[in-house]
Amino acid sequence: MRLTEETGTDHRPSDEAWIGNLIRHWREDPGASYRTWFLWEERIKNFRSIRRGLQAVIDEIRADAFGNAYRGSSLETVVHSIAEQRQVFKGADHAFLWKPKLRIPDIYEDRANQVAFGRFLDACLCCSAEDGVLAAIHGLDRQRIKGLGPAAANLLYFLHPTLVPPFNTAIVKGYNAIAGANVKLGKWDEYLAMRRGIVALNAAHRGLLSNDYGAIAGFLFDVGSGRYPLPERDGAAALARWREDLDRVRAEAAATASKAALAAREADHTHTEVQGWLRDLGLALGFDVWIASNDGNRPYASGRLSDGCLDRLPGRLTANGSAEMVRLIDVIWLDKADGDVAAAFEVEHTTSIYSGIVRMLDLALGVEGGAARNFFLVAPDNREEDVRAQFARPAFSRVAELDLRYLPYSELRGHRETIARFGSGLKGVLAIAKPVGRPR
């Protein structure tokens, strides 16, 4: 029976009427995904395990231990637990299976793409607001990683079920049928335009659905799978609305890309400037200074950032497996007499606080005799909460062994010249920094 007959009218019903009728029928259907999956107790348990699994993926990528194959990877474990929910996610692992002839998805053999994918997951794992999630998606899309498209939204759904709807072929077919749209597979802008429509559709029928977009995704999945016949509708008007959504998403993506590029340029400038402050202050206080190996040639003042600094670190600081990580620490002050590390500084203007702490731990725990004593995360004043939040993570259980402090930009900017002129050793720097390590 067609839904037009259920309305009791001879003409085509309004969208709200027939969609509402269909959702009610779907909720009552014992074989539909509402009862077999959305209300399934095991579905809720999967959120916890998938979140933990994605953290393992991030940690392995960050440590360059992820490997170059899908089979046996931490990602396979996560995706398999999603694909096991066959009521909606049957075949979800296909998008992540390594296809060697096509070399897709290109996150196994291309390290830069792998790191970008890990950064995307980490950003989404750490943020809780819609803007942060959408910014991470736009950032990943700009990387143009071959074969890695909106199927990744299935991972994000289990991090943010009230922000990110799942994605697969049946859901797209269901959305196109319900909304009269023309969503195509494989493109993030198409997915984001569909997401706008899904959010609006969910709001219009909120009393029958849920804040959790799994409900509406299950409904669209069943429609797209051909479980229910649909009435005829005004395709031209619906398609026009869809095109408006797509144009809006593309305009937002272009604006986001422009802002991101501007922010990146500003971040590079500010990061180098703060490194320059620390370089000049360290030299004025009588220390040898090391500048991160990948930053030394950056222009600063009338020369290079590494002018007047060491061209290599003492051998004992790099005689272990973490040598490359230590060389990437933004600024290190060393005692001229014995070469011990007097202080190490990580400047975190917009980048992840996590990576800076990891490099500090490598230096502190990887050098015989514990040469390093004082560690500073130098960041904008508004990032103090972010710094402290990172120290609450179980991954940093050994951070109590560090005497790590948060040094706000404003304090360094306002006091560095006075410390350079009248200070001695680290007293002045310690006075303006804030302890953030766990109490011993």
Mind listing the pLDDT tens digit of every residue in the chain (440 residues)? Answer: 334 333 333 333 456 788 888 899 899 888 899 999 999 888 888 898 899 899 989 988 888 888 888 888 899 999 999 999 999 998 888 999 988 888 889 999 888 899 899 999 999 988 888 988 999 999 999 999 999 999 999 999 999 999 999 999 999 999 998 888 889 888 999 999 999 999 999 999 999 999 999 999 999 999 998 888 776 655 566 656 656 765 775 677 667 656 655 544 444 458 888 999 999 999 999 999 999 988 899 898 889 999 999 998 888 777 665 666 778 889 999 999 888 889 999 888 766 676 677 777 777 766 554 445 688 989 888 777 777 777 666 656 655 566 778 898 888 988 999 999 887 789 999 999 988 754 44
CA–CA gap between residue 212 and residue 307 (Å, rounded): 55
Q: What are phi and psi of 416, to 5 degrees?
A: -65, -40
Distance of CA 395 to CAs 45, 128, 352, 384, 399, Å? 22, 20, 15, 19, 9
In the chain, the amino acid numbered 99 is K
Contact 294, 351 (CB under 8 A): no
The secondary structure of 350-416 as a DSSP string is SS-HHHHHHHHHHHHHHSTT-----EEEEE-GGGHHHHHHHHTSGGGGGGGGS-EEEEEHHHHHHHH
Which helix (H) or strand (E) covers residue 303, if one does? Answer: strand 303-304
Contact 21, 11 (CB under 8 A): no
Cβ contacts of residue 114 below 8 Å, gap of 6+?
61, 66, 107, 108
CA–CA gap between residue 166 and residue 171 (Å, rounded): 8
Cβ contacts of residue 206 below 8 Å, gap of 6+?
none
Cβ contacts of residue 394 below 8 Å, gap of 6+?
none
CA–CA gap between residue 351 and residue 428 (Å, rounded): 26
Q: Reduce the secondary structure of 239-275 to three states and give it as a string.
A: HHHHHHHHHHHHHHHHHHHHHHHHHHHHHHHHHHHHH
Cα 330 → chain centroid = 23
The secondary structure of 24-55 as a DSSP string is HHHHH-TTSHIIIIIT-HHHHHHHHHHHHHHH
